[in-house]
Amino acid sequence: MTAADNRRDEAVLTEPALTEPVLTVEDLTVVYEVEQPVTAVKDASLTLHRGEILGLAGESGCGKTTLAYAVNRLHRPPARISSGRITFHDKDGDDVDILALEDAELRAFRWDKLSMVFQGAMNALNPVTTVRAQLKDTLLAHRPRMSRKEVRERSEEVLRRVGVDPGRLGSYPHELSGGMRQRVMIAMAMLLEPQIMIMDEPTTALDVVVQRDILREIVRLRDELDFAVVFITHDLPLLLEISDRIAVMLEGEIVELETAEKLYREARHPYTRKLLGSFPSLSGERGAFIRTGVDETAPGEETPEATTPTVPAQAPTEERA
Ligand SMILES: Nc1ncnc2c1ncn2[C@@H]1O[C@H](COP(=O)(O)OP(=O)(O)OP(=O)(O)O)[C@@H](O)[C@H]1O
């Protein structure tokens, strides 16, 4: 392979072809109405494209979680959206004004069109209910006409997709490891085949090896199923590996939004450069762009057009509990 081939391959990997938008956030401002009001998100605008992984980076307290919650209208008082527009562009052609949805419409919208895996989500599973019952409840709440057989098949399929043996359907959350619980949460988030998944530090509480396995699978699932991901973390090296584009937040504002490679090589904003410089793994010799880790799947293990459920190659083999 020549150097030109290498460069071309790298460009294919790192320069995403931007598809049509699936979500548009315009001038969003979110304020915590406390004694000394905090404007946690200031005039934030971004476009998420279909099938894209958009990383949201920035140090603790810059407003990442507030932004993510507001997009899904999961924010609670004292948080208030004081201005802005959030539009979901459904694949059937409809534009949905998320801020105008009534409660019932919002309940139908969440999980179905846009789902969220948030910090500590692995503890969000109901401790007294089996995995089977939790998947079934979510499915039937949105698809009441599904037959028992369809519910069973879909539940098995999503578990397989995230690398959990369907034999675990009968398990209670405490019978699963942290990594498995987090995989189950990801299965739950993709259960209804949403077009967007927002992931807020989904793997932070897990050890590094499990984290990488799960991230690899998220990228693989995105490749197979084409949902868009907003991935939030302050781990910039990790975002550089998995994201198509990265938005950098500083004190509530999005100060830079670029492709991962451009951000890595030619960050424009001084804060982005400072952030890049604060990770020793990024501040040494900048040779080849580091975007290889989680993209590296065993060659030939999957075809892009695969539509049948497949067990990810990296899935742990596990025994029935
Ligand atoms: N309930 C609240 N009341 C008042 N201020 C709040 C509240 N929750 C968050 N904030 C403030 O809003 C700002 C943004 O917080 P947010 O949690 O969105 O940041 P973050 O970037 O997600 O941080 P982290 O990475 O630590 O989760 C911070 O200044 C925070 O102190």
Mean pLDDT, consecutive 10-residue stretches, the chain (321 aa), reads: 43 59 98 97 97 94 95 95 98 96 95 88 83 96 96 95 94 91 91 94 78 83 90 88 94 96 93 88 56 43 29 30 27
- Cβ of 78 closer than 6 Å to ligand 1, yes or no, is yes
What pLDDT does 147 receive?
97
Nearest-CA residue for atom 16 of ligand 1: 63
Residue 154: name the closest of 129, 187, 185, 186 by CA: 187
**Residue 42 backbone zone (phi > 0: left; psi -120 to 50: alpha; other: beta):** beta
For the chain, what is the largest distance between any 2 Cα atoms, rounded to a whole number of angstroms? 63
Nearest-CA residue for atom 26 of ligand 1: 60
Full 3-state SS string of the chain = CCHHHHHHHHHHHHCCCCCCEEEEEEEEEEEECCCCCEEEEEEEEEEEECCCEEEEECCCCCCHHHHHHHHCCCCCCCEEEEEEEEEEECCCCCEEEHHHCCHHHHHHHECCCEEEECCCHHHCCCCCCCHHHHHHHHHHHHCCCCCHHHHHHHHHHHHHHCCCCHHHHHCCHHHCCHHHHHHHHHHHHHCCCCCEEEEECCCCCCCHHHHHHHHHHHHHHHHHHCCEEEEECCCHHHHHHHCCEEEEEECCEEEEEEEHHHHHHHCCCHHHHHHHHCCHHHHCCCCCCCCCCCCCCCCCCCCCCCCCCCCCCCCCCCCCC
Q: What is the pTM of this model?
A: 0.83
Ligand 1 centroid vs 52 CA: distance in angstroms?
26
What pLDDT does 17 receive?
62
Residue 51 in contact with residue 9, Cβ under 8 Å?
Answer: no
What pLDDT does 312 receive?
28
Ligand 1 centroid vs 108 CA: distance in angstroms?
27
Q: Is the peptide bond before 173 cis (omega within 30 degrees of 0)?
A: no
Residue type, 147: S
Residue 131: name the closest of 186, 169, 175, 176 by CA: 169
Distance CA 200, CA 119 (A): 6
What pLDDT does 290 receive?
52
Ligand 1 centroid vs 280 CA: distance in angstroms?
26
What pLDDT does 41 receive?
98
Tokens representing 27 are: 């001038």
What pLDDT does 201 receive?
86
User: 253 pairs with which residues across the strands?
Assistant: 250
Whether ipTM > 0.85 holds is yes
* CATH of segment(s) 20-121+194-283: 3.40.50.300
Three-point CA angle 168, 215, 198, nearest 5°: 90
Ligand 1 centroid vs 18 CA: distance in angstroms?
31
Ligand 1 centroid vs 180 CA: distance in angstroms?
28
- Cβ of 75 closer than 6 Å to ligand 1, yes or no, is no
Domains of the chain, by residue range, sit at 20-121+194-283
Nearest-CA residue for atom 3 of ligand 1: 32
Ligand 1 centroid vs 271 CA: distance in angstroms?
19
Mutate to test the pocket of ligand 1, among 35, 39, 64, 233 (most ligand atoms within 8 A of CB): 64
- Cβ of 34 closer than 6 Å to ligand 1, yes or no, is yes
What pLDDT does 284 receive?
55
